[in-house]
Chains A and B, each alone.
Chain A
Amino acid sequence: MGFGQEQGESTEMNLFRIASDNVNSLEQRGQDLRESNAGNPDALDRIDRFVQRVQADGRIGVNMRPWILARFLSRGVYTNIYGWAAEMAALSGSDAEAFVGKKLGSYKDKRQAFDSAFEDSERFGYGALTIGGAGAEHYGEFCFVIRDAFAADVKSSAYLRGDSLNDYMTADGTLLDSKMRQDLAPPSHRHCLALLKHAPDLGAASDWAALLCSSSGYIEAIFLPDLKPEDGEEVRVRASRYRELWDLTFESFGRKLAAGESALQAHFVEVLTELRDRSLPCVEVPQC
């Protein structure tokens, strides 16, 4: 097993084992943080309530655009870029790796450097830790919230303080190995990671959901199991975006929609139909 080895050696590392092995360090750093706030009862109270909130409400959210969500719900399985390339290759009878290379273009080396460092990385699914709100909306306005049981196994899911590709890879494709080892947590200790990241910024409780997960930043969740629609608990969408989608429906009775708007409307129909058929609630959430 590649645990403990530096990037560049032939053996791949097990991301989930590194996360599990980080438990003692996370607990110790969490304890140190509490002790450093011992003289400030308000701060201590906020810290404890935040931890409880993450423990109780923490879920993995995967933000998807209507097109992606519609495709995921109708096909019944979520595919990453490697799954997509395999499909394309099967359809065209050509090489999946060529599809990946063409798709990634100049980003191919960096992405593949990350993926080649870890076991099973071609099967990794990505999301973010959420305790409410519409999530990292720049990835898509619909936040597919996964049932907690889906990713509770320490052998197949882990949380990273930031974005794996942007925060733990240098521009030339070198993995920031020691930084990553410090910032990984297993599902049982994701609250510690959240606390260590956000303790200095904890304000009103109403702001915690957006603090933890938004387009500005998030704790990345990496998981191995194939994600299916039935693993979902609910789909969240910001109320103003939800209204905008319905406004478009209203307007479609009075004017011809542009191509992008028509496509959006078609995907919205697919999403709502699938959600209804699967009894998966679509929940409007307030503006963060």
Chain B
Amino acid sequence: MLSLVALSRADGWAVVRDGKHLLLVHPPYTRMGQRPVDEGFVETAVSRLAFQRPQQPMEFSGWQPLIAHLNGEVEKARSELGQSLDDAGLSERLLELAPLPVLRGFVERARNDLLPNPAAWAGAERLLLALLRLPQVSGSPELHGAALDLLGALMDAKGQRERALAQATVNIERFPRIAGRWGGARLNRYLGALASQPTLMGI
């Protein structure tokens, strides 16, 4: 059982009691970010750091509901101040403020983490297009080239995937009875496996 001891609604920092321990937590609420504190800190947090004690004791069965509550409080506090949390241009504005080593890291991470994952391609494309518009990227031929190369690789991967999906539709049209019995996705997996490893296997 976790209990909420004090909270700053403006930014979601909170002191939480976990058994005998008091922990300071803050977004993005990672385990690594938790910090043990003492009762003296709670007093300082309330009297100097804009934390508030909840009016009623608040207990939670685990971290997930507690973090959901903290996020809800932040959302409510921001809304009371008329500040939206859906600022679509915020990420792009941060890129404008990022130093070059950070941007280099983003391109590297996009290549390693996002390119192999089709579900992440839309985000990767948005990131790369935003990067390529930055003056600090235009001013760095090496980084500009790397971002452009990655965007090209992403476009190639998207093209290949679209062609494969189109081919899958053709397969279903060519073998309607098999697709009807086993499902189109299963048929396409089988034909794909057959194409890459032409061994007779049961469907």
- A residues in contact (CB < 8 Å) with B: 65-68, 80-81, 84, 103-107, 110-111, 126, 137-140, 163, 165-166, 215, 244, 246, 248-250, 252-255, 258-269, 272-273, 276
Contact = CB atoms under 8 A, between A and B. Distances in A.
B48 A126 contact: yes
Contacts of B13: 65
Nearest to A105: B53
B196 interface: no
A267 B87 CA distance: 12
A81 B114 contact: no
B71 A258 contact: yes
Nearest to B39: A166
A2 B10 CA distance: 40
Contacts of B28: 244, 248, 258, 260-261, 264
A283 to B, nearest CB: 12
A246 B102 contact: yes
7 contacts: A67-B11, A246-B105, A253-B126, A254-B114, A254-B124, A258-B28, A263-B78
Interface stretch (B90-98, B145-153, B164-172, B186-194): B90-98
A87 to B, nearest CB: 12
B94 A265 contact: yes
A109 to B, nearest CB: 11
Given A126-B48, A139-B49, A166 B40 contact: yes
Contact of B93 (A106, A111, A263, A269): A269
A163 B44 contact: yes
B50 A250 contact: no
A260 B11 contact: yes
B46 interface: yes
B47 A265 contact: no
B132 interface: no
Nearest to B119: A254
A81 B190 CA distance: 68
Contact of A266 (B40, B75, B83, B126): B83
Contacts of B130: 253
Nearest to A68: B50
Interface of B: 8, 10-13, 24, 26-30, 33, 35, 37, 40-41, 43-44, 46-50, 52-53, 67, 70-72, 74-75, 78, 83, 85-87, 90-91, 93-95, 97-98, 102, 105-106, 109-110, 114, 120, 123-124, 126-127, 130
B73 to A, nearest CB: 8
Nearest to A265: B90
A260 B12 contact: yes
Nearest to A241: B33
Contacts of A137: 35
Contact of B43 (A165, A263, A269): A165
Contacts of B40: 163, 165-166
In the complex, the 9 A-B pairs of residues with the closest C-beta atoms, listed nearest first: A260-B27, A254-B123, A260-B12, A166-B40, A259-B75, A67-B11, A259-B71, A272-B97, A253-B127
Given A263-B11, A273-B97, 20 more contacts: A68-B50, A81-B47, A103-B46, A107-B43, A111-B47, A138-B37, A163-B44, A165-B44, A166-B44, A215-B37, A250-B110, A252-B91, A253-B130, A254-B124, A259-B71, A263-B10, A263-B74, A264-B26, A266-B90, A268-B94
A260 B26 CA distance: 8
Nearest to B125: A253
B59 to A, nearest CB: 19
A254 B44 contact: no
B78 A249 contact: no
Contact of B46 (A104, A215, A267): A104
Contacts of A254: 114, 120, 123-124
A261 to B, nearest CB: 5
- Listed residue (B74, B86, B109) with the most chain A CB atoms within 10 angstroms of its CB: B74
A89 B77 CA distance: 19
Contacts of B27: 258, 260-261, 263-264
Nearest to B94: A249
B97 A276 contact: yes
Contact of B98 (A139, A249, A252, A263): A249
B75 to A, nearest CB: 4
A241 to B, nearest CB: 8
Contacts of A246: 98, 102, 105-106
- Listed residue (A66, A258, A265) with the most chain B CB atoms within 10 angstroms of its CB: A258
B78 to A, nearest CB: 6
